[in-house]
Amino acid sequence: MPRADGGVAAGARVVVGRARRRLARTRLRLAAWARALAHRWRSSMQLRVVTSALALGVVTVVLLGLYLSFSIRDGLFEQRLEQVERENAAMTEQVRQTFSSSPATSSDELQLLLSTMIQTLDTGASSGQDFFLLSSVEQSRLIDVVTRQPLRELITPELREATVASDGQVLQSVLIPAEFTSSEVPEPGVVVGSTVDVPTVGAYELYALYSFQPEQETLSFVQRTLAIGYVAVLVALVALTWTVTRQTVTPVRRAATVAARLADGHLDERMAGSRGEDEMALLARTFNEMATNLQDQIVRMEALSAAQRRFTSDVSHELRTPLTTMRMAGEVIHASRDELDPAARRSAELLYNQLDRFEELLSDLLEISRFDAGAAVLDVEQTDLRSIVTAVADTTAPLAERRGVFLSVDLPTEAPTADVDSRRVERILRNLVVNAIEHAEGKPVEVSVAADAKAVAVVVRDHGVGMTAVEAEHVFDRFWRADPARARTTGGTGLGLSIALEDARLHGGWLEAWGRPGEGASFRLTLPRRAGIQLQDSPLALVPPSRGMTQYPTGQIPVVNPPTGPTPTAIPDLDAHPLEDDVHPLGDDAHAAGADAHAAGHGPASGATTDVEAR
């Protein structure tokens, strides 16, 4: 027996478990349908317009239907009630006259008089359905007379009391049972009561039952007709709204599709439906004209850009041969400078130094050309950033000593390793540290390194001249200088930060900067530790801990985070971009490109106020 009870309990648990699983699956289906419907609602303007029109139409139709239904019902009821009151008043007066003129005096004669009167009323022209003559005297010697005895229950004691107490007519709404109706359904009705005097007996109560079924059928017919009309109106409203919105939305949807194709680079796409004189045809023609002008502009710009890159590349390559010759001659003159007079000796030294800068400029131009042509690639290997930072510090230490700048490096105890191109990262950091030393005005320069699970970061902080808001808009522009009148003591080419920006972008990282006039600047390089990692934040703070961004509403250096471009996981085809023949640096539009990118506002949420993308 216990074994049987255990089996029943186990079976019940299985049934309950199945029911719960079915309920869970049903909930998941309903949630999926709700999400699909919500997505459809958000993504279709036509559906929203049609649904809104349908909802408004339903509300309007319901309110109008209720108003018409109530108005017709009240009108039919009042009209029928007035008719009943008139008929009952005439009938009561006729009964009174008959009783007053009757010579009957005995009980039999009076009983016959009552029965004859009820029969006369029942077969008369009145619309009354049943009639009742009830004695108001408790010990009456006459028997009450009614057409149908079961219907006497419709006359309530309250109605009898009101009828006896009133000199006129008293009405009460009743529901006639189905077994006493021709339609075999309960019918609405009214009982009208009044008093009459029977000779030698006294007051009697006369009641007449009137049916309101014809009026109810009329009202039902009107309501059915209105309902059909309302449904037809709603269907017509939906069809009309759908048609109108389709005529409006279809060209807009077509324009959006063509615009998306144009954005993907299919410049030959055009919008159909440009024939006609309506607004949609005007939209199509205007859109096509805009696309044509845009295509022409892009083609001209591409041709101009290609010509500029070709010109710059050709000039750069053509200058290599005379530069080599000048280098050889300059080295000979520089080696013999002690034999020259002081003026010639100084000229020889200047020539030698400027040749170094000229060669560096050509190298930077070729590097920029590789970035512009998409031919720059990474030589990635797992590297400890502490070794790169240490090498940069050792390289820039002589410059810091000459400028009287104390250069400090803060390295973590755990190795901040990442998959990077050591040469490019070293070039980024060298540019940042050299710039910090040059603008530190003898104050300390601090280099900090940190890492977390997804990223490594290096922050270079100086306490020198800082930067203003105007300078912030051009800090990564090519050949731009904060102070044109200020000499380049380190012989820079004006392309260092631009190349650093492109190197950071090539790694899929961020190059960000913050500054305040008179309080120095802070540059932060953040790189993913592995290819494909999307950076969300940085292990190091860009803004110095003692300063909050709310204290510096102006003069912020823009954050730089190019959203697109080559990454270690997307290396371009070298065969399609020969480095020596087809790459050219950017021309004179560098400043305009930087300003446009600054207005676009791309970049990480790092606390800075503006973003710049140097192209």
Inform me whether the pLDDT recorded for 599 exceeds 70.
no
Looking at residues 490-511, what average pLDDT do you find? 78
Lowest mean pLDDT among 120-124, 138-142, 475-479, 590-594: 590-594
Token readout for 237 is 């409203």
Q: In whole angstroms, give the CA distance from residue 286 to residue 436.
A: 52
pLDDT in tens, 501-535: 888 888 889 888 888 888 888 899 999 998 888 88
Looking at residues 334-342, what average pLDDT do you find? 81
Of 375, 370, 378, the C-alpha closest to 575 is 375
Q: In whole angstroms, give the CA distance from residue 312 to residue 170.
A: 111
Collapse the DSSP code of 523 into the 3-class scheme (helix H, G, I; strand E, B; otherwise coil) and give the result. Answer: strand
Strands 381-384 and 170-176: unpaired
Token readout for 156 is 């309530």
pLDDT in tens, 44-62: 777 788 888 888 888 888 8
pLDDT on residue 571: 37
Give the ranges where 404-421 is alpha helix by DSSP (H). none
Dihedral in degrees, nearest 10, Cα atoms 11, 12, 13, 14: 50
Looking at residues 388-412, what average pLDDT do you find? 91
Inform me whether the pLDDT recorded for 100 exceeds 50.
yes
Inform me whether the pLDDT recorded for 460 exceeds 50.
yes
DSSP structural state of residue 381: E
Inform me whether the pLDDT recorded for 248 exceeds 90.
no
pLDDT level of residue 190 (50, 70, 90 thresholds): very high
- The residue type of 164 is V
pLDDT level of residue 122 (50, 70, 90 thresholds): confident
Q: Which residue has the higher pLDDT, 588 or 168?
A: 168
Cα three-residue angle 369-373-379, rounded to 5 degrees = 85
Q: In whole angstroms, give the CA distance from residue 520 to residue 443.
A: 9
pLDDT on residue 585: 33
CB contact burial 310-348 (16+ within 10 A = b; e otherwise)? eebbeebeebeeebeebeeebeebeeebeeeeeeebeeb
pLDDT in tens, 270-323: 877 667 777 777 878 888 888 888 888 888 887 877 777 677 667 766 777 777
Token readout for 615 is 């192209």
pLDDT on residue 590: 32
Which residue(s) pair with 409 in the sheet?
447
pLDDT on residue 527: 92
Q: Which residue has the higher pLDDT, 430 or 139?
A: 430
Q: Which residue has the higher pLDDT, 387 or 7?
A: 387
For residue 63, how far is the Cα from the chain centroid? 33
Helix axes 279-335, 213-263, angle to 10 degrees: 30
Lowest mean pLDDT among 72-86, 354-368, 573-587: 573-587
Residue with the two structure tokens 């990223």: 455
Phi, psi dihedrals of residue 174, rounded to the nearest 5°:
-140, 170
395-402: long-range contacts, CB 8 A cutoff, minimum separation 24: 395/430, 396/430, 396/433, 396/434, 396/437, 399/434, 399/437, 399/490, 400/437, 400/445
pLDDT level of residue 598 (50, 70, 90 thresholds): very low
Token readout for 153 is 């229950």
Give the ranges where 45-106 is alpha helix by DSSP (H). 45-101
pLDDT on residue 5: 58
- The CA radius of gyration of the chain, in Å to the nearest whole number, is 50
Q: Which residue has the higher pLDDT, 511 or 491?
A: 511
How far, CA to CA in Å, does 572 sit from each of 368, 373, 376, 535, 576? 16, 10, 8, 22, 8
pLDDT on residue 7: 63
Lowest mean pLDDT among 3-7, 61-65, 274-278, 485-489: 485-489
Q: In whole angstroms, give the CA distance from residue 127 to residue 86.
A: 11
Collapse the DSSP code of 464 into the 3-class scheme (helix H, G, I; strand E, B; otherwise coil) and give the result. Answer: coil
User: What is the torsional sign of CA 398, 403, 406, 408?
Assistant: negative
pLDDT on residue 331: 80
Residue with the two structure tokens 């970035």: 371
Give kind and range of the element (H or E) at residue 445. strand 445-451
Lowest mean pLDDT among 22-36, 77-91, 268-282, 289-303: 268-282
Which residue(s) pair with 146 in the sheet?
132
Inform me whether the pLDDT recorded for 575 exceeds 60.
no
Q: What percent of the chain has pLDDT over 90?
A: 14
Of 306, 226, 356, 248, the C-alpha closest to 581 is 306
Q: In whole angstroms, give the CA distance from residue 363 to residue 92.
A: 123
Inform me whether the pLDDT recorded for 591 exceeds 70.
no
Collapse the DSSP code of 460 into the 3-class scheme (helix H, G, I; strand E, B; otherwise coil) and give the result. Answer: strand
Collapse the DSSP code of 383 into the 3-class scheme (helix H, G, I; strand E, B; otherwise coil) and give the result. Answer: strand
The segment with the largest mean pLDDT, out of 202-216, 349-363, 495-509, 540-554, is 202-216
Looking at residues 6-15, what average pLDDT do you find? 69
pLDDT in tens, 131-189: 998 887 665 667 888 888 888 889 998 998 898 888 889 999 999 888 888 777 888 99
pLDDT in tens, 343-387: 888 888 788 777 777 777 777 777 777 666 666 778 889 999 999
Is 367 within 8 Å of 499 (Cβ atoms)?
A: yes
Cα three-residue angle 98-102-104, rounded to 5 degrees = 140
pLDDT on residue 241: 85
pLDDT on residue 517: 87
pLDDT on residue 373: 67
Inform me whether the pLDDT recorded for 491 exceeds 60.
no
Give burial (CB, 10 Å; 0-12/13-18/19+) of 528: buried
- The answer for residues whose C-beta is within 8 angstroms of residue 34's C-beta and 6 or more apart is none
Max CA separation in the chain (angstroms): 173
Residues of the chain by 3-state class (helix, strand, coil), percent to 5 = 55, 15, 30
Inform me whether the pLDDT recorded for 589 exceeds 60.
no
CB atoms within 10 A of CB 141: 11
Inform me whether the pLDDT recorded for 612 exceeds 60.
no
Taking phi over 0 as left and psi of -120 to 50 as alpha, with beta for the rest, 487 belongs to: beta
